[in-house]
Structure 1
């Protein structure tokens, strides 16, 4: 992987020396976080403010750990022996890599297969934050709206296929320490893998259960 680092506007020599450890720590941190995302990474870090004291023992972190560090990124840095001081640096992270798009028009309700996908290469930071780049996250799901050829797959365009349909007779398993009981009921909702739906066992008995297989649910205790 090729990593290019641009530090923005020039600074006085004393400021460059003081801030170099901080910038290096952030650059290395972002490199480690993005090296598996693509073939080439370009990291542009804005210089730290010259009015702040030196950051000793910098320890970078991502304020939003669930978001991939692509595009405009804010990086937190804990400073000092105990990390009691925190400051933030801004960076632009461009990742050149491969992503998937639809190889054909896909109609709503279609179960997506590998034959419907093709790969492209480009700047991943230009994609929507909802775009799915890994085929494993797309194959086996159902299109919830039409997807045109050449379009990326957005997370909210897809849904896991239903393993249980409303009105279907289903088996519900309840188990705990030393016991396992199964009952037959009627699903009151459609349900995909891992979803919790309502099941009716009688005129007045309704229970929530989680879908674990086709026609099979489990009650979590």
Structure 2
């Protein structure tokens, strides 16, 4: 019985005792990156830089040369009164993201109800993974999806509001005038995308598709 208790103690030590506690610098970096995330997400940061590259002051001011990436391996500037250091860090973020509830076929119209939320490491997902279920509403699958699969931007497209060959209303609004006419769309386009339209005169114009399927001319 005593041997069993000793074995359990050793197992617990192996699971917990080898994990290093975060340093004050890593705690400060975690707070900095947490402010950039939704409150429901959990952030932890590890410093990868060697000790000689760490800031000399106790409370450096952090900034990022580029804010295009929110997690993964990043470079962060740490400004002290006398010197600025650049740190290499790894930002780990745990949060929710949508995955398919059921098999989805190529060409199938999608809705947020076709997906469920899963909690996991966002920094380990492909860079273009869609995290907001609303982005899946009124989209179309470009490839089959299996249950539990996360969705990247290349796997879907927005639904066409205007299709090639369709007759559309072309609107021209300007200072002191408002003109509309019909034309024929030359390409498919979703809302806010650009579509080329051939007018009855043969002239080809371009405009942005609105939510009603009309085309607002680009000047």
TM-score by length of 2: 0.79
State whether residues 103 and 150 of structure 1, in contact with CA within 8 Å, keep that contact through their aligned partners in structure 2: yes
State whether residues 112 and 140 of structure 1, in contact with CA within 8 Å, keep that contact through their aligned partners in structure 2: yes
Deviation by residue 1:62-98 (Cα, 9 ceiling, x = unmatched): 333232x2222222335558xxx65321112222222
Q: Where do 1:44-123 residues align within 5 Å? A: 44-47=46-49, 49-50=51-52, 54=56, 58-67=60-69, 69-80=70-81, 86-123=84-121
The partner residue of 1:199 within 159, 173, 197 is 197
> Is 1:36–2:34 an aligned residue pair?
no
Find the counterpart in structure 1 of residue 142 from structure 2. Answer: 144
Alpha-carbon RMSD across the aligned residues, in angstroms, is 2.7
Deviation by residue 1:147-197 (Cα, 9 ceiling, x = unmatched): 111110111111111000101110011111121111111100011011111
Q: Which runs of 5+ in 1 are unaligned?
A: 8-19
The partner residue of 2:161 within 160, 163, 182 is 163
The number of residue pairs the alignment matches comes to: 200
Q: In 2 relative to 1, CA 53–78 (structure 1 residues): closer, same or farther, beyond 3 Å?
A: closer
Q: Which runs of 5+ in 2 are unaligned?
A: 1-19
Find the counterpart in structure 2 of residue 12 from structure 1. Answer: none
TM-score by length of 1: 0.78
State whether residues 169 and 215 of structure 1, in contact with CA within 8 Å, keep that contact through their aligned partners in structure 2: no
User: Highest Rg: 1 or 2?
Assistant: 2
SS of equivalent residue, structure 1 residue 115: helix
**Which is strand-richer, 1 or 2?**
1
The partner residue of 2:124 within 103, 109, 126 is 126
